[in-house]
Amino acid sequence: MKNRLKVLRAERDWTQADLADALDVSRQTINAIEKGKFDPSLPLAFKAARLFHMAIEDIFQDGGV
Amino acid sequence: MNPSSSKQESLKQRTQRSTKTLFIWTFSWVASLAVLSFGPKFIWDFNMIFSAMAILGNLVLGYKMIMANKEHLLAMDEMHQRIQLEAMGISLGVGLVIGTSYETLEDIRVISYEPEISHLIMVMAVVYMIRIILGYRKYA
């Protein structure tokens, strides 16, 4: 699954640790999600969407389509 | 700007607390196992009542350790939970497969000694640790 977390984070000048703080996960998890190595659960995706005031599909895209 | 500074602390605090709790109950269980193993011979001369109390204590502490391990798992974030679950699943499967085969080896006279449960536990522990390392490398 592709995502725009890294771009959205950079736009706000947040570090991975800052984003991890906000989403209540570890920095390693944010790193893995940004690299596309780990797909977040739906609740975590919703949390990210709420944080960035965006729709989930504007942040996460299915890489298989 | 830091979007939130309190939640990371809660994750960190959660993990630290569950790790500390798990350590305490694991240490207690290991200590009770030592008492159960050596107490009958060296302390209470195989008195059945004391042995029964030692067994009961060991089981109770074992239960507390299992629950602490479950809480420790739930305190992690979802990626770390997945790494742990993958490692536990593989080590459980290896334990089942290797354990049953190992137990059969004496019956079919491939080995001459009685299989020890401690050997199986060591194999499972090694497999678990290897899978944890591979899991962290996979998502790094």
pLDDT tens, residue by residue, B86-131:
999 999 999 999 999 999 998 898 988 889 999 999 999 999 999 9
Query: Whole-model pTM?
Result: 0.86
- Does B128 share its domain with B86? yes
Which residues of A fall within a CB distance of 8 Å from B8?
A: 17, 20-21, 24
Q: Does the beta-carbon distance from B140 to A31 stay under 8 Å?
A: yes
| pLDDT at A33 exceeding the cut of 90 | yes
- Does B14 share its domain with B51? yes
The b/e string for A38-62 (b: 16+ C-beta within 10 A; e otherwise) is bbbeeebbebbbebbeeeeeebbee
Which residues of A fall within a CB distance of 8 Å from B138?
A: 37
| Domain around B70 | 1-76
In this predicted complex, what is the ipTM?
0.91
- Does B57 share its domain with B85? no
Tell me A36's DSSP state. T
- Does B8 share its domain with B65? yes
Q: What rounded mean pLDDT belongs to chain B?
A: 93
- Does B68 share its domain with B118? no
- Does B64 share its domain with B90? no
Q: End of a domain among B41, B56, B76? A: B76
Q: List A3's β-bridge partners, or say none.
A: A60
Question: For residues A55, A17, B24 and B72, what is the CA-based torsion angle, rounded to 10 degrees?
Answer: 20
Confidence of residue B8 (pLDDT cuts 50, 70, 90): very low
Asked whether the beta carbons of A34 and A41 are under 8 A apart, the reply is no
Q: Does the beta-carbon distance from B11 to A51 stay under 8 Å?
A: no
Q: End of a domain among B76, B92, B115? A: B76
- Does B111 share its domain with B125? yes
Nearest to A38 among B2, B3, B79 (CB): B79
CA distances in angstroms from B77 to A9, A25, B59, B72, B100, listed in the order given: 20, 5, 30, 11, 34
How high is the pLDDT of residue B109? Answer: 87
- What string of DSSP letters covers B40-81? HHHTSTT-HHHHHHHHHHHHHHHHHHHHHHHHHHHHS-HHHH
Q: How many residues does chain A have?
A: 65
Which residues of B fall within a CB distance of 8 Å from A28?
A: 79-80, 136, 139-140
What topology is assigned to A2-58 in CATH?
Answer: 434 Repressor (Amino-terminal Domain) (1.10.260)
- Does B72 share its domain with B129? no
| pLDDT at B36 exceeding the cut of 70 | yes
| Domains of chain B: total | 2
- Does B71 share its domain with B83? no
Cβ-Cβ contacts under 8 Å between A and B: the total is 62
